[in-house]
Amino acid sequence: MASGNDICRMSAVKLAKAIKKKELSPVEVTKAMLARMEQLEPKLHAFNIPTPDYALKMARKVEKAIMAKEDVGPAAGVPVSVKDLICTKDIPTTSGSIAYKDFVSDVDDIVVERMRRAGAVILGKTNVPEFGYSGASHNPIFETTRNPWNLERSPGGSSAGSGAAVASGMGPWTLGSDGGGSVRIPACFSGIYALKASMGRVPLWPGTRDERYPGVSSWEALECIGPMTRTVADAAFMMSIIAGPDMRDQRSLPKLETDWNKTIKGDIKGLRVAYSPDWGYAAVDPQVRDVVGKAVKVFEKELGCKVEIAHPGFENPYGAFWGLVACETDLKGMRAMVAKHGAKMTPHLVEFITRPWQAEDFTNAIMVRKGVVNKMAAFMQKYDLLLTPTLACPPFGLHIQGPEKIDGRMVDRFEWLNFTYIMNMTGQPAASIPAGFTRDGLPIGLQIVGRHLDDPTVLRASACFEAVRPWADKWPPMLAEMGL
Tell me the torsion sign for CA atoms 285, 289, 290, 291: positive
3-state secondary structure 57-107: HHHHHHHHHHHCCCCCCCCCCCEEEEECCCCCCCCCCCCCCHHHCCCCCCC
Amino acid code (one letter) for 164:
A
Out of 81, 158, 190, 252, pick the active-site residue.
158
Residues 6 or more apart whose CB falls under 8 angstroms from that of 160 comprise 46, 126, 127, 128, 129, 136, 137, 145, 154, 186
Q: Write the burial class of residue 290 (CB in 10 Å: 0-12 exposed, 13-18 middle, 19+ buried).
A: middle
Measured CA to CA in angstroms, residue 20 lies from 17, 327, 335, 450 at distances of 5, 46, 50, 34
Residues 6 or more apart whose CB falls under 8 angstroms from that of 400 comprise 136, 154, 413
Residues 6 or more apart whose CB falls under 8 angstroms from that of 353 comprise 329, 331, 334, 335, 337, 338
- Is residue 218 among the annotated active site residues? no
- Is residue 14 among the annotated active site residues? no
| Cis amide prior to 92 (ω within 30 degrees) | no
Q: Nearest Cα to 175, choosing from 55, 43, 86, 289?
A: 86
Q: Write the burial class of residue 42 (CB in 10 Å: 0-12 exposed, 13-18 middle, 19+ buried).
A: exposed
Amino acid code (one letter) for 145:
T
Out of 25, 83, 218, 252, pick the active-site residue.
83
Amino acid code (one letter) for 146:
R
Out of 177, 182, 432, 462, pick the active-site residue.
182
- Is residue 97 among the annotated active site residues? no
DSSP string, 417-452: GTTTHHHHHH---EEEEEEEE-TTS-EEEEEEEEST
CA–CA dist 195, 225 (Å, integer): 9
Q: Which residues carry out catalysis?
A: 83, 158, 182
